[in-house]
């Protein structure tokens, strides 16, 4: 990596992607780079001279969320600066790696490397497998150190994704798969437990939650799990299900300006 600094943009639903971004950033800092971790939902800040672009996002729908693609598609010309991708997943990232690489190349960025990390499941947990989750997180940290070393040495690599990536990318950019997901797993608020703190509405990246007396869900949820993960009294759940709350960071870690 020829640049001396990195602006590392992330979105994280339950905290897994933030953990991965922090792990990569820590190793880059040990290698002498200045790294600023920024939230995608706060918008893009023009990159100073000598600054590479980092992107960290969850894999979702074998791609990633529509609002993340909107952020990426709005990036300015890269002026041949370096760029890299970190993604977290439960199983497969599908179209994410090749689609992001193509987009960056079209915008005149120089792809430095991409890496997927398998992280703890953040959906439909009837119980939390604590030991398994610790093992996955520790494995991620070791792989993150290797990836960061590869970035520093110019040897990180950007593996190809599935040959179906154009189809999967196109699918993820449409509204209907996300609506289908939302309808299959509709969210409810237990009013007997809700403390009306409004954290769910403040955290929702697509403004799908409106605070009235209690949270009210609109029709454009992307199932990122933030509202469920960070509800203090665990009042938000999937209708008719009894899932255990999962998050890997705390509320103030996620919203901090000093990452």
User: Which residues of the chain fall short of a pLDDT of 70?
Assistant: 93, 161-165, 257-259
What is the model's pLDDT at position 68?
95
Q: H or E segment at 53?
A: strand 51-58
Q: Does residue 240 come out as left (phi exceeding 0), alpha (psi in the -120 to 50 range) or beta?
A: left
Q: Which domains does the chain have, with CATH numbers?
A: 5-168 (3.40.50.360), 174-254 (3.30.70.20)
Residues sharing a CB contact under 8 Å with residue 63, sequence separation 6 or more, in sequence order: 69, 94, 95, 96, 99, 168, 169, 171, 172, 173
Give the SS3 label for residue 123: coil
User: What is the per-residue pLDDT for 144?
Assistant: 96
Task: Give the residue carrying structure tokens 């709005």.
Answer: 74
Q: What angle do CA 58, 64, 68 make, to 5 degrees?
A: 95
Predicted pLDDT at 121: 84
Question: Can you give the pLDDT at residue 62?
Answer: 81
pLDDT of residue 176: 82
Looking at residue 162, its pLDDT comes to 66
Residue 159 pLDDT: 79
């Amino acid at each position: 990596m020829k640049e001396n600094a990195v602006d590392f943009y992330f979105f994280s639903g339950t905290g897994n992607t933030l953990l991965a971004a922090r792990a990569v950033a820590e190793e880059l800092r040990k290698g002498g780079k200045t790294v600023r971790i920024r939230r995608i939902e706060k918008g893009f800040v023009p990159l100073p001279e000598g600054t590479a672009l980092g992107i960290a996002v969850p894999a979702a729908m074998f791609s990633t969320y529509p609002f993340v693609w909107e952020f990426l598609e709005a990036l300015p010309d890269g002026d041949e600066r370096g760029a890299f991708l970190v993604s977290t997943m439960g199983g497969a990232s599908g179209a994410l790696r090749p689609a992001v690489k193509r987009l960056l190349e079209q915008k005149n960025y120089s792809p430095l490397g991409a890496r997927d990390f398998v992280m703890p499941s953040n959906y439909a947990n009837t119980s939390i497998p604590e030991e398994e989750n610790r093992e996955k997180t520790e494995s991620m940290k070791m792989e993150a150190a290797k990836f960061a070393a590869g970035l520093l040495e110019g040897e990180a690599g950007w593996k190809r994704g599935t040959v179906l990536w154009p189809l999967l990318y196109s699918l993820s950019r449409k509204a209907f798969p996300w609506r289908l997901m939302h309808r299959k797993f509709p969210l409810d608020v237990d009013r007997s437990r809700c403390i009306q703190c409004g954290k769910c509405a403040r955290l929702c990246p697509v403004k799908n939650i409106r605070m009235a007396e209690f949270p009210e869900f609109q029709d454009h949820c992307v199932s990122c799990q933030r509202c469920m993960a960070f509800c203090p009294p665990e009042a938000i759940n999937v209708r008719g299900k009894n899932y255990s709350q999962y998050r890997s960071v705390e509320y103030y870690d996620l919203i901090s300006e000093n990452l």
